[in-house]
């Protein structure tokens, strides 16, 4: 168990002690890091908030608060700025003590939560018999990062890949498997072959109206448990998952559950009957729907759970899924990492869950789209979705060209591995560095650049640190000794290391890994400034050990932060 306390925690505690002595509300005691180092390292607006309550001059109240603060063991004398901000600058001795304690802490000063939750994260969710494509990237990468962060902070996380493995498309796929000539494609490229069959049957249906009835018969037979059709369906599911799994293995992503829509199929009819009996659902024009007359956002938009032809919908399956998850896992929270166009669906689904008495915290973690050079949804020139497999391979191939150019003499196996780490890291980071709700422009040139806010830039900082330590011929960074912060770039780097440990516990509040990306980018920037300004290997022995220890700690923080984003680091590149 870590006994390390961050500067933010210490200052917040001291501030609350001070305002408590003054008889002011404790919730005024909020401390944040400063956006501009000219105003110190941390600041609070407690005096300005209290001034409104007490009808006092905020600067006068700030002076009173400072008189009650006991921070001389960690800060220079607090100052007042602007309308009444109280600014804190950490003292040199305190900063050195803190950075040493951070280096000795196995978790780099990042405490586990005092209130661990059981969290189900639903993400990725491709459709069986269809290839994964560029549209699956954001859900997959964002969901995995949130799972990593939540686990690191001490939560119990269950990741669930809710596969689209049931639906009308299987009538066409099964008909195609039975009646169309099969080539070698099913063994060599199974998903592409299933897509081909689906498209060919669709085209044949347009030419022959009677064929639609036959295709529908195959679907009905499947839904009623016909053994031959079930076997063909299971084959399609197996082949599709094997293809998906190759992508997940490449991305180093695994799931605790992968229960598809088919798992809940038998629960749907009883569910609809129950919703009707309880008066939650009603029949309307032959269909079964749920109305929300008291909800201002969608009082005129019903939630369809059974069509007039008896077919169930995504909403029906999602209700059954929530009930199953509640019964099995008893989760504190269920998060859906899904695109922003599904916002209404999830708002309605969560409203139904509340009506049914489900008590979990439900969140739709929405995100924007990836745009091509034309600033439209990213597709191939023919208008098709770009397949995920080809995109991942292109990332690796482009990175390999860079590695080959920079280090042609590296062993081939190592070049391949470095290319995988750089290429996939660049792809993930380019997605995660964005505010999740923004649409962003996809650019190979930008994401693979070694300059700017990119994964290769951060990985290169780590590689430079590892090279320094190899030259020193030591990996025992704890034995390097205490860190003495004499130069401005040393102080700036140390402060950034401390503040990353304060940032990580906040990332789940708005599900925004981009905040971590920015913090790591600032860390790499400050390391490079430190590296340029502060010679290490040629410095005096005590200075050399101090600077190497600071560099080693930076490397650990970069590696830990990138791992939380699902990104690896190479030892050289």
Query: Whole-angstrom Cα distance, residue 478 to residue 460?
Result: 23
Predicted confidence (pLDDT) per residue in 143-180, tens digit: 999 999 999 999 999 999 999 999 888 999 999 999 98
CATH number of 7-90: 3.30.1360.70
The SS3 assignment for 14 reads: helix
Which pLDDT score is estimated for 1?
46
Helix axes 227-251, 169-179, angle to 10 degrees: 110
Q: Please answer whether residues 335 and 405 qualify as being in contact, where contact means their C-beta atoms are separated by less than 8 angstroms.
A: no
Helix axes 488-503, 514-533, angle to 10 degrees: 160
Domain boundaries defined on the chain: 7-90, 169-251, 377-573
Query: Whole-angstrom Cα distance, residue 321 to residue 160?
Result: 11
Using the CB atoms, write b or e for 216-247: b if 16+ within 10 Å: eebbebbbeebeebeebbebbbebbbebbeeb
Q: Please answer whether residues 49 and 19 qualify as being in contact, where contact means their C-beta atoms are separated by less than 8 angstroms.
A: no
Question: What's the chain's length in residues?
Answer: 573
Query: Whole-angstrom Cα distance, residue 398 to residue 560?
Result: 26
What residues have CB less than 8 Å from 249, skipping those under 6 apart?
none
Q: Give DSSP secondary structure letters for 300-367.
A: TS-EEEE-TTS-B-HHHHHHHHHHHHHHHH--SEEEEE--GGGHHHHHHHHHHHHHTT--SEEEEE--
Query: Whole-angstrom Cα distance, residue 431 to residue 302?
Result: 34
- 7-90 with 377-573: one CATH topology? no
Q: Please answer whether residues 525 and 438 qualify as being in contact, where contact means their C-beta atoms are separated by less than 8 angstroms.
A: no
Using the CB atoms, write b or e for 442-460: b if 16+ within 10 Å: beeeebbbeeebbbbbbbb
- For 335: left if phi > 0, alpha if psi spans -120 to 50, otherwise beta; the answer is beta
- For 481: left if phi > 0, alpha if psi spans -120 to 50, otherwise beta; the answer is left
- Tokens describing residue 281: 């659902």
Torsion, CA 124, CA 224, CA 205, CA 193, rounded to 10 = 50
Residue ranges in the chain modelled with pLDDT below 50: 1
Predicted TM-score (pTM) of this structure: 0.93
User: What Cα–Cα distance (Å) separates residue 517 from each residue in 99, 112, 142, 368, 464?
Assistant: 21, 20, 12, 18, 19
Using the CB atoms, write b or e for 97-111: b if 16+ within 10 Å: bbbbbbbeeebbbbb
Q: Please answer whether residues 371 and 377 qualify as being in contact, where contact means their C-beta atoms are separated by less than 8 angstroms.
A: yes
Which pLDDT score is estimated for 355?
95
Query: Whole-angstrom Cα distance, residue 126 to residue 139?
Result: 10
Q: Please answer whether residues 119 and 150 qualify as being in contact, where contact means their C-beta atoms are separated by less than 8 angstroms.
A: yes
Which pLDDT score is estimated for 296?
85
The topology under which CATH files domain 377-573 is: Isoleucyl-tRNA Synthetase; Domain 1 (1.10.730)
3-state secondary structure 53-87: HHCCCHHHHHHHHHHCCCCCCCECCCEEECCCEEE
Query: Whole-angstrom Cα distance, residue 472 to residue 78?
Result: 40
For the beta carbon of residue 565, count every other beta carbon within 10 angstroms.
Answer: 25
């Amino acid at each position: 168990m870590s006994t390390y306390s961050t500067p933010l925690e210490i200052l917040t505690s001291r501030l609350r002690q001070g305002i408590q002595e003054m008889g002011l509300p404790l919730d005024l005691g909020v401390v944040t890091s400063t956006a501009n180092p000219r105003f110190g390292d941390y600041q609070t607006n407690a005096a300005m908030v209290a001034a409104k309550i007490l009808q006092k001059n905020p600067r006068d109240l700030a002076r009173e608060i400072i008189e009650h603060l006991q921070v001389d063991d960690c800060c220079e004398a607090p100052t007042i700025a602007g309308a009444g901000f109280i600014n804190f600058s950490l003292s040199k001795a305190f900063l050195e003590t803190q950075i040493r304690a951070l280096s000795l802490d196995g978790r780099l000063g990042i405490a586990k939560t005092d209130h661990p939750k059981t969290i189900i994260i639903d993400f990725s969710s491709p459709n069986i018999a269809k290839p994964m494509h560029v549209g699956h990237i954001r859900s997959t990468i964002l969901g995995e990062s949130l799972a990593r962060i939540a686990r690191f902070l001490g939560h119990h996380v269950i990741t669930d890949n809710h596969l689209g493995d049931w639906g009308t498309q299987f009538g066409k796929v099964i008909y195609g498997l039975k009646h169309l000539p099969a080539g070698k494609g099913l063994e060599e490229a199974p998903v592409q072959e299933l897509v081909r069959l689906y498209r060919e049957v669709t085209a044949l249906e347009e030419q022959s109206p009677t064929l639609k009835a036959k295709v529908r018969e195959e679907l009905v037979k499947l839904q009623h448990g016909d053994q031959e059709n079930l076997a063909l369906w299971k084959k399609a599911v197996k082949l599709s998952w094997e293809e998906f799994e190759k992508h997940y293995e490449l991305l180093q992503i695994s799931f605790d559950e992968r229960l598809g829509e088919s798992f809940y199929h038998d629960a749907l009819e009883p569910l609809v009957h129950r919703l009707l009996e309880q008066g939650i659902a009603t029949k309307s024009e032959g269909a079964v729907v749920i109305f929300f007359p008291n909800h201002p956002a969608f009082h005129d938009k019903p939630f369809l759970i059974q069509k007039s032809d008896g077919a169930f919908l995504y909403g029906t399956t999602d209700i059954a899924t929530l009930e199953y998850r509640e019964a099995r896992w008893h989760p504190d929270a269920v998060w859906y990492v899904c695109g922003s166009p599904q916002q209404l669906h999830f708002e309605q689904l969560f409203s139904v869950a509340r009506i049914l008495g489900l008590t979990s915290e439900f969140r739709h973690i929405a995100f924007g789209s990836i745009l091509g050079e034309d600033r439209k949804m990213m597709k191939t020139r023919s208008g098709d979705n770009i397949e995920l497999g080809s995109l991942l391979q292109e990332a690796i191939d482009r990175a390999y060209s860079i590695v080959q150019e920079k280090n042609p003499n590296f062993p081939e196996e190592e070049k391949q591995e470095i290319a995988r780490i750089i290429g996939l890291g660049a792809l993930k980071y380019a997605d995660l560095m964005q505010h999740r709700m923004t649409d962003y422009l996809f650019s190979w040139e930008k994401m693979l650049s070694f300059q700017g806010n990119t994964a290769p830039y951060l990985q290169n900082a780590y590689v430079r640190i590892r090279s320094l330590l190899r030259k020193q011929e030591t990996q025992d960074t704890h034995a390097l000794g205490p860190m003495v912060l004499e130069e401005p770039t040393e102080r700036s780097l140390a402060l950034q290391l401390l503040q990353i440990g304060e940032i990580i516990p906040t990332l789940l509040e708005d599900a925004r890994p981009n905040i971590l990306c920015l913090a790591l980018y600032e860390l790499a920037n400050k390391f490079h400034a430190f590296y340029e300004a502060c010679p290490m290997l040629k410095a005096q022995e005590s200075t050399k050990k101090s600077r190497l220890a600071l560099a080693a700690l930076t490397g650990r923080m970069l590696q830990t932060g990138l791992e939380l984003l699902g990104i690896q680091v190479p030892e050289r590149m």
